[in-house]
Amino acid sequence: MNDVDKTFAGSIPKLYDEYLVPLIFESYASDLAGRVAALFPKAVLEIAAGTGVVTRALARNLAGDFRYVVTDLNQPMLDHAAERQGPDDRIVWQQANALELPFDAGTFDVVLCQFGVMFFPDRMAGYREARRALKDGGSLLFNVWDRIEENEFADVATKAAAEVFPDDPPRFLARTPHGYNDVDVIREEVEAAGFSDVSIETVEATSTAPSPRHPAVAYCQGTPLRNEIEERDASLLEEVTDKAAAAIAHRHGHGSVSGKIQGHVVVGKA
């Protein structure tokens, strides 16, 4: 992973939240929030929170007196998340590096992360930090995307970008969000970081959008794929987006479109 993969700035946070969150993240956020709420935690740490889709889901599901610390490496994403959430005395927003968490050992009952561990430069370090921050018996919950071929719209966007840049195809989506999908490797790394009773469940869902252009904009302009395209030739961003929209329309029709998405949900005990 390079620095471009970690840059969520400029117009990306708004487009990400407006287009990508309802397209692929909301159903998995509800799933993860429900799993966390069932544990009745009193202290929760969320890492790589992005624009706060899990934060909003979990805050609705946790009642009473609890502490919820929400972090992300990218301040623009965190600012957008805090604005969307609105005032809530239970929630603390804090920029933090998941590999060097600024919290005492044994602070939290739950550490959770929605589709973020793929961006860690050192996943083992991130898992060890999560283990350190958890109380004994606490839980780590996170999800990751399955291979890009199991996620239709992301695959189409990647192929459209490759058509425009055949000599140097942008591979952000395949390389990073969908690049950490081997469940045996995931289990081995989580256990090596000190977790036990590790379970991994593959969850398939359906991604629905009002038009073919919606997922094309979501992936081509609302993720760091945009950074890769603009590094090559910023004037071709719309061409890549149009190609992706046309390919989605060809496969799924010109009205409301639906495509398969698939990820893995991982749970481990400290």
Q: What is the DSSP string of the chain?
A: --GGGG---TTHHHHIIIIIIIIIIHHHHHHHHHHHHTT--SEEEE-S-TTSHHHHHHHHH--SS-EEEEEES-HHHHHHHHHHH---TTEEEEE--TTS--S-TT-EEEEEEES-GGG-SSHHHHHHHHHHHEEEEEEEEEEEE--GGGSHHHHHHHHHHHHHSTTS---HHHHTTTS---HHHHHHHHHHTT-EEEEEEEEEEEEEESSTHHHHHHHHHSSTHHHHHHHHHGGGHHHHHHHHHHHHHHHH-SSSEEEEEEEEEEEEE-
Q: Which pLDDT does position 11 carry in this prediction?
A: 56
The per-residue pLDDT for range 38-86, each reduced to its tens digit, is: 999 999 999 999 889 999 999 988 877 889 999 999 898 898 899 988 8
Band (pLDDT 50/70/90 cuts) for residue 116 is: very high
Overall average pLDDT of the 82-105 stretch? 93
In whole angstroms, give the CA distance from residue 146 to residue 166: 25
Band (pLDDT 50/70/90 cuts) for residue 20 is: confident
Overall average pLDDT of the 106-135 stretch? 97
Overall average pLDDT of the 246-265 stretch? 96
Band (pLDDT 50/70/90 cuts) for residue 14 is: confident
Q: Is the pLDDT of residue 143 over 60?
A: yes
The per-residue pLDDT for range 189-234, each reduced to its tens digit, is: 999 999 999 999 999 999 999 999 999 999 999 888 999 999 999 9
- Per the structure, the count of domains in the chain is 1
The answer to pTM > 0.85 is: yes
Per the structure, the complete domain to which residue 9 belongs is given by 3-269
Q: Is the pLDDT of residue 152 over 90?
A: yes
Assign residue 210 the CATH number of its domain. 3.40.50.150
